[in-house]
Structure 1
Amino acid sequence: MILDDDDLPPASPAETLRLIRQQQAETARHLSPDPRLVYWPWGVAWLVGFSLFFLRFGPDDRVFVNLPEWLPLTVLFVLLAAAGTLGAIGGARAYGQVTGDSSRRGQWYGIAWMLGFVTYGVTLGRVTDHLPDDLARLLWAAGAVGLTGVLHLAGGAIWLDRNLFRLGIWLTLINIVGVYAGPGWHALIVAVAGGGGMLVGGVIAWLRRGSGS
Structure 2
Amino acid sequence: MSDHEELDPAIALALIDAESDRVRRALDVRLPVQLLVWGVAWCIGFGTLWWDVRRQQPFTGPGVFSAVVFSVLLIAAAVVTGVVIQAATRGRGGRSVRQGRDLGIFWGAGFTAFFVFAGGISSVGLDPAAAGLLFAGGSVILTGLAYLAMAAVFGGAVERALGSWLLLLVAAGVWAGPVTLNLLIAVLGGGAFLVAAVVTWRSGLRRPADPGSDFTSGAGRG
Q: What TM-score do the two structures reach when normalised by structure 1?
A: 0.77
Change over 3 Å in CA distance of 1:185–1:162 after alignment to 2? same
Cα deviation code 1:160-200 (max 9, x no counterpart): 11100100001111111220111100000000000010010
Give aligned pairs, total. 186
Q: Which amino acid aligns with 2:50?
A: F
Q: Which residue of 2 aligns with 1:144?
A: 139
Structure-to-structure mapping, 1:1-213, within 5 angstroms: 27=22, 31-32=26-27, 33-58=29-54, 61=57, 69-129=63-123, 130-212=125-207
SS of residue paired to 2:178: coil
CA distance in 2, matches of 1:36, 1:82: 16
Contact preservation (8 Å) 1:47, 1:196: yes
Cα deviation for residue 30 of structure 1 reads 5.3
CA distance in 2, matches of 1:118, 1:83: 12
CA distance in 2, matches of 1:157, 1:29: 12
CA distance in 2, matches of 1:28, 1:125: 36
Long gaps (5+) in structure 2: 1-17, 209-222
Contact preservation (8 Å) 1:60, 1:183: no
Contact preservation (8 Å) 1:37, 1:86: no
Contact preservation (8 Å) 2:43, 2:186: yes
Change over 3 Å in CA distance of 1:88–1:37 after alignment to 2? farther
Cα deviation code 1:14-61 (max 9, x no counterpart): xxxxxxxxx99x956752251222201011000001111111112654
Moved over 6 A (4+): none
Q: What TM-score do the two structures reach when normalised by structure 2?
A: 0.74
CA distance in 1, matches of 2:109, 2:130: 24
Contact preservation (8 Å) 1:156, 1:165: yes
Change over 3 Å in CA distance of 1:156–1:59 after alignment to 2? farther
Contact preservation (8 Å) 2:78, 2:107: no
